[in-house]
Amino acid sequence: MVGPSDRSMRSIKDVHTNRIRYLRRQRYPRPHPDICQVLDIYFRVKSSTFGYHVRCHHPSRHVDVVFIAPTLTILSLGTTPEVSMQNPSGRRPTLLAMRAFVLLIETENREKAATQMEITVAQVTALMRELEKRLGVQLLLRTGERYVPTEAGIDFGARCREVIALTDEAEAMCSGAAMAPRGLLRIQCDVGFGQRYVLPVIGNFCARFPQITVEFSTSSSTSDLLIRGVDASIHLADRLMDPRGLSRKLGDTFMVLCASPAYLEKHGHPRTPVDLYDQPCFRLISPSVPTDWNLIDDTGTTQRLLLRSRLTTDTPELLTEVTLQGKGIALMPTFCAIELVRAGRLQHVLREWRSQDIGVYATFSAQQPLDSKSRAWLEWVTERITPQLQTDREYFRIQSQQ
C-alpha cells in the first residue's frame, strides 16, 4: 500500500484530517459509498506500519466496522480522526516495534528512524516505551540526541534482525512467486487431443519457463483433480462438468466421418446418414463426449441415428488403425483425422454432416486466484491452442462445401 508523501506528512493526524475534509468536499449522497472503497482511496499508508488497524463508524448503518490494515485507528468517518497507538484486537505491534528498534540502533537518532519508517518521532518513542514495558528490561540508553543499546538491547537487536530478515525473505518469496512462475506443474489431457495440440507447445513452454517443472500425463478423467494431484487438465466435454473448479473454454471441436480410399472403392460412398445403417461403423468412446450418433449439417438440421457400432474404443490409435485397414467408417475427432485426410490416407465422407460441437476446456484444481505457474500455462495454451482449434474447424468447413 502507498502512504502519504513525506512532504505532506507533518503528522499522521494532520494527513488524515486533510483527507477527511477532502472526502467531505466530494458531497457523496447518503448513505456513503462502500466503506472499503473509501478506505482504499483515502487512507493508504505504507506496509512498514504493519500491526495497526483501521476502525471506523459506518455512517449509514451505525455500526463499528474493523478493518485489518497497516495504519492507525480511525474512530469515526466524517469527523476529525483520533490517532491511537492501541491495537483494537489487544495484540501489540511487535514486528513494527522490532523494525523501529533496529533502525534506532543503526541510526542512533529518533528523527532518522522515524523518517525511514515514515512515521512520526512520537510514534517511535511510544513504540520503544511499549516494547521495553512488555519485555521488562531497558533496551536503550539516551546520551543527548543519541540512542545506544544496552547489553540486553544488543542481544535483542540481533534477534530482531533475524526475525525481520526471515519476514522480508518470506514476503520477497511470495511476491517473487507472483512475478516469476516456478514449481511443479502437473498437466493432464486426452491422449489424442494431446498429440495434436499439447505436445507441439509444451516443449516451448518448458523452455520459456525454466523454473517450472512439468509432469505430463494422459487421461480422459476430469473428476477430483485435486485428489489425484493434478494441477491443470485439458479435456473435451459437451458441457462444463465440474462448476466447482476453475475452467476456461479454449474452443470447440467435433467429430467427422472418415473411411479409407480402399473401403470406399469397394463399398461405395454413403450419400445420406441413413446409408450408415448398411455399413460397419466405428467410433471413439470417452467419458467426456456424447455416446450417441447425433449428426448435424451446416444448416443446423440434426439427425439421430440408432446405430450399433461394430467397434467402440477409448484408444484413438486403435480407431485410426482399424479405419486405415479399410474395415469400415469411423466417427472420429478432427484432431485424429485431419492429418490423415490431408495426406489422402483417409477420406472425409458425408462432408456436410458432423457431430455436435464438443467443448475444449482448461480446468484447474485450485480456486481463484491461480498461482503464477498455472496462470502462465493458461495464457500459453489460450494463445496457441485456441487459434489452432479454429484453423482445424475452418479446414473441415471448407471440406463440407466442396
Q: Are residues 267 and 337 in the same domain?
A: yes
Give, in order, the Cα–Cα distances in Å from 263 to each of 111, 270, 280, 308, 313: 91, 11, 11, 19, 20
Q: Return the CATH number at 368.
A: 3.40.190.10
Q: Report cis status (omega within 30 of 0) of the bond before 31.
A: yes
Would you state the cell numbers that stand for residue 291, as one nine-digit string?
A: 455416446
Whether residue 75 contacts residue 82, with contact meaning beta carbons closer than 8 Å, is answered with yes
CA–CA dist 378, 371 (Å, integer)? 11
Q: Are residues 159 and 196 in the same domain?
A: no
Question: From first to last of its 402 residues, what are the pLDDT tens digits of the chain?
Answer: 333 344 433 444 444 444 444 444 444 333 333 333 333 333 333 333 333 333 333 343 333 333 333 333 333 333 333 333 344 334 454 788 889 999 998 888 989 998 888 889 999 999 998 888 888 889 999 888 888 999 989 888 888 888 888 887 777 666 655 567 888 999 998 888 998 999 999 999 999 999 999 999 887 665 666 556 788 889 888 776 555 557 889 999 999 999 999 999 999 999 999 999 989 999 888 766 666 788 999 888 998 888 878 888 888 889 999 999 999 999 999 999 999 999 999 999 999 999 989 999 998 876 556 788 988 999 999 999 999 999 999 998 876 666
Q: Are residues 82 and 203 in the same domain?
A: no
The answer to whether residue 400 sits within a structural domain is no
- Single-letter code of the amino acid located at 247: S
Residue whose C-alpha cell reads 507472483 in the numeric block:
178
Which of 123, 154, 179 is a domain's end point? 179
Q: Are residues 378 and 239 in the same domain?
A: yes
Q: Are residues 40 and 5 in the same domain?
A: yes
Please tell me whether residue 139 adopts helix, strand or coil conformation. Answer: coil
Number of other residues whose CB lies within 10 A of the CB of residue 387: 11
Q: Return the CATH number at 171.
A: 1.10.10.10
Which of 179, 204, 221 is a domain's end point? 179
Q: Are residues 86 and 119 in the same domain?
A: no
The answer to whether residue 402 sits within a structural domain is no
Q: Are residues 206 and 270 in the same domain?
A: no
Residue whose C-alpha cell reads 540486553 in the numeric block:
152
Domain count along the chain: 4
Q: pLDDT value at position 241?
A: 56
Whether residue 260 contacts residue 347, with contact meaning beta carbons closer than 8 Å, is answered with yes
Q: pLDDT value at position 165?
A: 81
The answer to whether residue 148 sits within a structural domain is yes
Q: Are residues 79 and 99 in the same domain?
A: no
**Residue 377 CB burial class (10 angstroms; 0-12, 13-18, ≥19):** buried
Q: pLDDT value at position 400?
A: 63
Residues 56, 61, 62, 64: is their CA dihedral positive or negative? negative
The answer to whether residue 232 sits within a structural domain is yes
Q: Are residues 245 and 371 in the same domain?
A: yes
> Which residues form the domain of 132?
94-179
Strands 140-143 and 183-189, sheet pairing: unpaired
Which of 127, 154, 179 is a domain's end point? 179
